[in-house]
């Protein structure tokens, strides 16, 4: 039995993705469409390339698929839009499944989110908290999941109580897209560092919460996509009006690259961040109480808020794909859960750097004019210790929005100035932070410990005195970092460098950020990596087992 999970239009209109699992719930391959079509977030685009890729990994054709699982109830949102499942699949996925139309299973959005988190976790039973902009009828839900049992929906909150909407309003007030919520989170840290007092915009009761900003008329029950869009515009509009009232302005007074110096912008970002932190902390406690266990899983777009995640006590698990792309996996797992999940999910499920992509063949990179040598760990480590900034593209790509050392830009973070240099390389705003990566034992000395969040770089942790001393380049303005702990040989080149740094008596920690230029998805294939290397002001590129440098940059002087 083969199950193709998708996040696809018309319901999944951003972060489309495809995932293939077998009859035992084992993942064969998983990819976001943006990695293949090179259009960030793949707005309104079907996951056709991602579906072709995952099928090619198993040597299958669309006709071999038994079930297509969608991470939305498309029938509720778009009633009577499609005459048949065959018509729906042609529109949503874009593949020709042949004369035998696969069964189409429409999994409610929050249930797909919940499944993607629980079954990726090492827990046998857990409370699962899903928080996002909205599903079909809700914005937050509490579940109990247990191996061998049907999932149980414990609580739900309506769309108008959406934390995602509150954060979207702040992001758009700041001039960002709602898909740039990470910028809002990074800016909010300047408010925390300054000790800003914010107005509380959420009322927490013993077993509930209520937003201070809501439409005059509450909306309950089911709604179509058009009705939800109208509700969204109303709620977000009222939140923006409240932020305008708080700031005394209807937008920032500084340009985007100077927002950290704009007190009004920082106040709005931090106010929204506090709304999320206060509410999620409360909901996490309610989830644990409802499930009767301390093990907690998070999912939904709000679970990408690393600052909030880092404030929650463990045991806590967030998957590498808590955003909407993850419902492709969660929908498939709802149809056929994995038989055994004793360790956290490996995020390395995407395209191999030298393997075939969705076309069935490996795109050949053009390395003309670049200087190639065999990859040597000592040489690579020396380049980094001498202040060089480079990129790594090895093995199968990560899934999710965090680069986890297989498609990463790396540097030694021994000065705060390296943050400025890497932001310049990536053409980012200078106020944005970076993450650090190290091994488990040394990480215990650098920052507060996180049992699972640091596996996927999904939780902020306060840096220790040693962390601030040896790795100031990855410590944000509020004293936190978003750490990654690298296990075993998950990312061979980066792991080898960390171990070599330790042998040389240097702090075994690196700055790690995604390998992509401004506005682009993370690189996927070797051809993507070489093109990005040429376009960006990088000193070296690890491509599989090769090391590439640019003419004139072969020395070891600190730049």
Q: Are 495 and 440 in contact (CB under 8 A)?
A: no
User: How many other C-beta atoms lie within 10 A of the C-beta of residue 478?
Assistant: 20
552/539 Cα distance (integer angstroms): 10
Q: Which two tokens stand for residue 510?
A: 């690196």
- Chain-centre distance of CA 4, in angstroms? 21
SS3 165: helix
Q: Are 300 and 162 in contact (CB under 8 A)?
A: no
User: What DSSP character marks residue 301?
Assistant: G
Q: Which two tokens stand for residue 208?
A: 């509930």
Contact residues for 504 (Cβ-Cβ < 8 A; gap 6+): 381, 385
As beta bridge partners, residue 191 has none
Backbone torsions φ then ψ of 243, nearest 5 degrees: -65, -35
Contact residues for 204 (Cβ-Cβ < 8 A; gap 6+): 278, 279, 282
61/98 Cα distance (integer angstroms): 9
123/257 Cα distance (integer angstroms): 42
278/282 Cα distance (integer angstroms): 6
User: How many other C-beta atoms lie within 10 A of the C-beta of residue 510?
Assistant: 27
Can you list the alpha helix ranges (DSSP code H) found in 315-385?
Answer: 327-335, 377-385
Q: Are 499 and 440 in contact (CB under 8 A)?
A: no
Catalytic residue among 14, 41, 358, 476: 14
32/50 Cα distance (integer angstroms): 6
Backbone torsions φ then ψ of 332, nearest 5 degrees: -60, -45
Tell me whether residue 113 is one of the annotated catalytic residues.
no
SS3 238: helix
Question: What residues act catalytically?
Answer: 14
């Amino acid at each position: 039995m083969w199950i193709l999970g998708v996040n696809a239009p018309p319901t999944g209109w951003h972060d489309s993705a495809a995932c293939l699992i077998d009859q035992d719930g084992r993942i064969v391959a998983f990819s976001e469409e943006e990695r293949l079509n090179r259009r960030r977030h793949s707005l309104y685009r079907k996951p056709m390339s991602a579906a072709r890729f995952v099928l090619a990994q198993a040597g299958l054709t669309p006709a071999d698929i038994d079930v297509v699982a969608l991470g939305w109830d498309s029938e509720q949102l778009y009633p009577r839009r499609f005459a048949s499942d065959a018509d729906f699949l042609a529109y949503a996925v874009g593949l020709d499944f042949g004369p035998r139309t696969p069964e189409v299973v429409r999994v409610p959005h929050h249930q797909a989110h919940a499944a993607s988190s629980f079954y990726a976790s090492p827990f046998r039973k857990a409370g699962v908290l899903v928080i996002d902009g909205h599903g079909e009828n809700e914005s937050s839900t509490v579940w109990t999941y247990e191996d061998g049992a049907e999932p149980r929906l414990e609580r739900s909150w309506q769309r108008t109580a959406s934390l995602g909407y509150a954060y979207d309003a702040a992001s758009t007030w700041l001039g960002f897209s709602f898909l740039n919520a990470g910028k809002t989170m990074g800016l909010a840290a300047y408010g925390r560092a300054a000790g800003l007092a914010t107005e509380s915009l959420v009322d927490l009761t013993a077993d509930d919460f209520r937003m201070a900003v809501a439409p005059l008329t509450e909306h309950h029950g089911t709604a179509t996509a058009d009705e939800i869009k109208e509700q969204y515009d109303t709620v977000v509009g009222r939140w923006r009006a409240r932020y305008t009232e708080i700031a005394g302005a209807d937008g920032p007074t500084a340009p985007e690259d100077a927002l950290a110096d704009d007190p009004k912008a920082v106040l709005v970002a931090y106010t929204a961040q506090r709304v999320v932190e206060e509410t999620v902390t409360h909901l996490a406690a309610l989830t644990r109480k409802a499930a009767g266990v301390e093990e907690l899983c998070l999912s939904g777009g709000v679970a990408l808020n690393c600052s909030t995640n880092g404030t929650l006590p463990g045991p806590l698990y967030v998957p590498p794909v808590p955003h909407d792309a993850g419902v492709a996996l969660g929908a498939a797992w709802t149809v056929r859960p994995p038989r055994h999940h004793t360790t956290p999910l490996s995020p390395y499920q995407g395209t191999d750097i030298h393997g075939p992509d969705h076309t069935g063949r490996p795109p050949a990179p053009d390395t003309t004019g670049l200087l190639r040598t065999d990859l040597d760990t000592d040489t690579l480590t020396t380049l980094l210790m001498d202040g060089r900034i480079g990129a790594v593209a090895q093995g199968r790509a990560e899934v999710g929005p965090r680069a986890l050392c297989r498609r990463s830009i790396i540097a030694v973070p021994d000065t705060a100035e390296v943050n400025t240099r890497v932001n310049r390389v990536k053409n980012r705003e200078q106020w944005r932070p970076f993450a650090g990566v190290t091994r488990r034992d040394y990480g215990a000395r650098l920052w507060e410990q996180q049992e699972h969040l640091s596996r996927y770089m999904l939780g902020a942790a306060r840096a220790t005195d040693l962390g601030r001393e040896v790795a100031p380049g990855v410590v944000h303005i509020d004293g936190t970092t978003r750490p990654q702990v690298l296990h075993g040989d998950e990312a061979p080149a980066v792991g080898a460098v960390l171990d070599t740094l330790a042998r040389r008596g240097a702090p075994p920690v690196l700055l790690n950020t995604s390998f992509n230029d401004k506005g682009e998805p993370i690189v996927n294939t070797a051809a993507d990596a070489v093109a990005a290397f040429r376009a960006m002001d990088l000193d070296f590129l690890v491509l599989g087992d090769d090391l590439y440098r640019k003419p004139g940059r072969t020395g070891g002087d600190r730049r």
